[in-house]
Structure 1
């Protein structure tokens, strides 16, 4: 995967994905409404402005890339369609044959091995985050129907702590992982598993 585009590159997760991809030797295009806010310079980095919900402006930014990583995230707890609308635009603009990875949330479903306390906490969190989670579900449904080589990475509660270098992973999101996920560990998992066929067309739960 020599050429990677990162959508929503100026967010806290997106910025770390850009840094990790560059460190891994990829050529990277950082895509955002205000890419100048990224504040990173590198000989293998290109910055492009695009409306992340408009496939026409995205198409030019994404052309020629082997993989596209979406770090879209909404703010607040109110109704949103950012995840589903943004992913729909990315799907429409995606270069033929390109890999697509999106950031979702482990809060969408309690794993099969979760205990009563974990299930109760998960239900409470889902009520609080119901609008964002409902839109993430719509996003993942779009992915499942797309026929693309996609992965929905579902981190648990995100933190800005340093990465552990030992992320806990559940392919298929069927087993418990930890309660918190360092954004650095999330970025590392995404970049390091772009070519991993075990993650293709599946959700993957991740934590630190």
Structure 2
């Protein structure tokens, strides 16, 4: 497949890039700083926090699908993901590209947004400890990050594209295992962490799975 990988030098993005190339895909990497690429690959320089429509159209032109690992690094840059993804969606529409798989986060399942103002109070995959302690603490610390990702999910839901969002919990740097669990529309009971490499592994496989279109997918070890 011809794939465009957005934020290809980030935590999940670098695994997407490595795995996609290893799988034989024809890849275009979208990066803010091409000097950070550690392999020879077609690249387009674009910063989704200040998107250039022409650069994004060039990045997705002729792609079969887009994989987006774009998101805030922390509270300080929360708020960039939704508008950046909106610009990416507009470029995809202009270029006739329909399939996109994007990274979100597990707590977004219960985070209100303009397009989803009344989410479930508790995710069906949450255990008692997560409901009482993990989720409330996470919201206090990273609430703006989750709100940004929830707004990004709104953008995809309203896009008319064939979208999938993947909602991992805490990300680790363990090597790819392929032994993760997934669930459509909910998080995973007892799933507190997952490797960035495994998130990338699943995103690539979700591309060809029609059951994931229009779905938020929980993933965890």
Tell me the residue number matched to 1:80: 78
Shift in Å, 1:79: 5.7
- Following superposition of structure 1 onto structure 2, how do residues 16-35 of structure 1 map, counting pairs within 5 Å? 16-35=15-34
Tell me the residue number matched to 1:13: 12
Rate the CA distance shift 1:79–1:50 in 2: closer, same or farther, 3 A.
Answer: closer
Tell me the residue number matched to 1:104: 104
What 5-or-longer segments of structure 2 have no aligned partner? 110-121
Question: What TM-score does the superposition give when structure 2 sets the normalisation length?
Answer: 0.87
Structure 2 residue 193 is matched with structure 1 residue 180: yes
Structure 2 residue 42 is matched with structure 1 residue 46: yes
Question: What TM-score does the superposition give when structure 1 sets the normalisation length?
Answer: 0.92
Tell me the residue number matched to 1:206: 219
Rate the CA distance shift 1:118–1:193 in 2: closer, same or farther, 3 A.
Answer: same
Rate the CA distance shift 1:156–1:174 in 2: closer, same or farther, 3 A.
Answer: closer
Q: 1 CA distance for matches of 2:90 and 2:43?
A: 21
Rate the CA distance shift 1:62–1:113 in 2: closer, same or farther, 3 A.
Answer: closer
- Contact 2:168 / 2:220 at 8 angstroms: preserved in 1? yes
Shift in Å, 1:167: 1.3
4+ long deviations beyond 3 Å? none
- Contact 1:111 / 1:175 at 8 angstroms: preserved in 2? no
- Contact 1:171 / 1:203 at 8 angstroms: preserved in 2? yes
For residue 68 of structure 1, give the secondary structure of its aligned residue in structure 2: strand
Shift in Å, 1:6: 0.4
Q: 1 CA distance for matches of 2:75 and 2:125?
A: 28
RMSD of aligned alpha carbons: 1.5
What 5-or-longer segments of structure 1 have no aligned partner? none
